[in-house]
Amino acid sequence: MALNIGSKAPDFSLSGTSGITLRLSKDLKGKSLILFFYPKDFTRGCTAEACEFRDQFSEFRDMEVPVFGISRDNIHIHEKFKKAHLLPFELLSDPSGDVCNSYDALIPVLRIPKRVTYLLDENHQIAGVFEGLFENKKHVSAMIAKLKKP
């Protein structure tokens, strides 16, 4: 099960593909954002999901909602994945799986990230969630619909 709508999003600090270390509470203070957790770079389902976020990125940009992908892959692999698929958003590396775990986005025994997407509001409360391993593209449409809902 994913985190509940209305709950406070756990704070984190992770390295990203732009050579930054992103701290949720500091660097994104007062901003709504999308966090999508996914199993592994360069796999079919994860590539489809990342490319769908890429293809619909203008929707998020126009609403001033940054998008961040998170998996346990290292920065080197993330950089290759981002370049290969021309991804216009940041990929964050969680090699320990601690952040994935805090967002209930980690399969316990296998320690592989689940496919779960969160919309955080400007107070970093969970405002929307979509979970589904085999519904790669629906994560994007669900977040767009949630953002456009009055």
The residues carrying an active-site annotation are: 46
Half-sphere exposure of 86 (CA within 13 A, CB side): 5
Pairing of strands 33-37, 21-23: unpaired
- Asked if 81 and 73 touch (Cβ cutoff 8 Å), the reply is yes
The backbone torsions φ and ψ at residue 23, rounded to the nearest 5 degrees and listed phi first, read: -110, 120
